[in-house]
Structure 1
């Protein structure tokens, strides 16, 4: 009996040692895989090019803060912008390769009104008095506007503020939404010293006015995204959390597609002075209709307003 007990004790010890060793090996392998994943993303070196007209330093930072917009979200917004680090953490590491396409693996919606606003400051190449500040917000996902229509993983949104360097006054604000945009005179969209941006409830597009019209299917139209904030509790003062975009930052260095929205901010055409003041004349129920709300026509260039 004593021999049997000793034999059973020995077997249990061997089994326990085997299981512990297996667990230890799995933990070591997991740690190794995590280190490799972090290494592969942190050392990402795609063909990212900084703008030749980019401005950095204390002046650029101060200007970005001075003209940072006030975001107004719908009172029932299902999500808010988040950080690029949060987006990367929710992305399959194997998809983070130069020229690849990001694959979202965690679509839990961010629910905090505390988030970074990313920016880039540029000077007009032939008019040093015209400065452009490009403000970007990053979302993990855009939900469907009706049924299974309109949604996609990842969403990148922005507005561009142009100001006069000498007078330090804003000239224009260009709002981007869906596949179009429009430009307003800065004084027409400024309240209490802050440029106002109403954020679409579902598609996150940027607008200068609210929308409380709602009926089936309208949310999928160009102007139909609900925008009905309920006071300051639905607002975000973006100047309190600014972060400058740079090719030195892995997420902005990434040259592939952010899901369906396509290229990241630093891989898009950022010569805003050459943009027409608006894009789209398809009508309110058309696919692109930015010009119907623009203070300037589509024959005017933003850099000459």
Structure 2
């Protein structure tokens, strides 16, 4: 019987991470509203037609920049796209290529950039979506040889009412799924709080201290247990706007197995449903934690 349980758990883990490895495909490839092709690497990068730039974007990104809460035993932290490029085989950095990591040394500095893009809601000029991204060199295995892959891209989206200067909603992304919380329910000292998964780096609204072999591979099982301020990072201190003019974001190939970079994914968040996943613990399960009806659109909140 014990052997049967182990095999069953292994099947669940394999299913979950076959989903996670396809996150780039699930997120889509191109944003709504295209502008003329830009330079940089010279790949087919186009900016969103809803993009807000300049001092307005900078002010919004800084005003609503989230507070990251890392596990007290976090094995790594986000890093810069330049650091990732320096750890990548130059031969793989070509338009339409697939990046190949050559240096897997885990970044250990808590001084890292948070990348962002600000877009306006085409259906409501008072609403904007601030998309915050973090880049990792690698995601380690969560159990035995399951779940690990080179490169990892994670993000969280905060919807803001410009007229009131208040955050409306926060959409947390993890394991190819997501869920949306009311912003006022996830604040810490007037900042949106994001608990970062210890291994898979997904974004969550809460901590998790449950741990046993294999559980960390489940949708909610990634350990996230910060020990106070020393494990917190205030992202206002290092914000960088994403743009096709930055070579790493102009790259249109795959960041290893996770898929396309941020500017080559569907970013029309006003058309996203508030959550994705109703499969339970060992599948996509985002909707179980969402504050809104699963069929509602984020842009209508």
Partner residue of 2:119? 122
1:220 to 217, 221, 224: 217
Q: Within the alignment, does 1:151 sit opposite 2:153 as a pair?
A: no
Q: Unaligned regions of 5+ residues in structure 2, if any? A: 1-38
Q: CA deviation at 1:126?
A: 2.2
Q: Structure 2 length as normaliser, TM-score?
A: 0.86
Which aligned runs of 4 or more in structure 1 are off by greater than 6 angstroms?
none
Conservation of the 8 A alpha-carbon contact between 2:40 and 2:244: no
Which digits, 9 at most, give the CA deviation of each residue in 1:184-224, with x for residues without a partner?
00000012111000000000000000000001100000000
| Larger radius of gyration between Structure 1 and Structure 2 | 1
Q: Distance in 2 between matches of 1:267 and 1:43?
A: 15
Partner residue of 1:55? 52
Q: Within the alignment, does 1:291 sit opposite 2:283 as a pair?
A: no
Q: Distance in 1 between matches of 2:267 and 2:74?
A: 29
Conservation of the 8 A alpha-carbon contact between 2:157 and 2:171: yes
Q: Distance in 1 between matches of 2:40 and 2:118?
A: 25
Q: What SS is found at the alignment partner of 2:229?
A: helix
Q: Structure 1 length as normaliser, TM-score?
A: 0.85
Q: What SS is found at the alignment partner of 2:152?
A: strand
Greater fraction of residues in helix: 1
Alignment of 1:89-168 (within 5 A): 89-168=86-165
Q: Within the alignment, does 1:257 sit opposite 2:254 as a pair?
A: yes
**Which of structures 1 and 2 has the larger relative contact order (alpha carbons within 8 angstroms, sep 6+)?**
2
Partner residue of 2:199? 202
Q: CA deviation at 1:43?
A: 5.7
Residues paired across the two proteins, number: 263
1:272 to 266, 269, 273: 269
Q: Unaligned regions of 5+ residues in structure 1, if any? A: 1-41
Q: Distance in 1 between matches of 2:90 and 2:133?
A: 23
